[in-house]
Amino acid sequence: MEAGRVVQRRSGASVAFNRNWAAYKNGFGDLMQDHWLGLRKVFSLTKNKTRKWILRVDLWDHEGGNAFAE
């Protein structure tokens, strides 16, 4: 499996996610911390129809537990 791309990371309250449409279109936050990559960048990554993409959601709780879904 190829390395994944983090579209959104939300681990705390350092970045407000209550944003307008333009912010979600263009992205916000720090890619090394909490962020939303942006709809334009997500489209750019996934528009190639010759590649197979899988959405994987990883979740962690505050007690160290984790789970994922594909």
Residue 64 pLDDT exceeds 70: yes
State the pLDDT at residue 2. 58
Kindly report the pTM of this predicted structure. 0.80
Residue 67 phi/psi, 5° resolution? -155, 165
pLDDT 10s digits, 7-22: 999 988 889 999 999 9
Fold of 8-69: Gamma Fibrinogen; Chain A, domain 1 (3.90.215)
Residue ranges of the domains in the chain? 8-69
Task: Give the N- to C-terminal CA distance of the chain in Å, as an integer.
Answer: 13
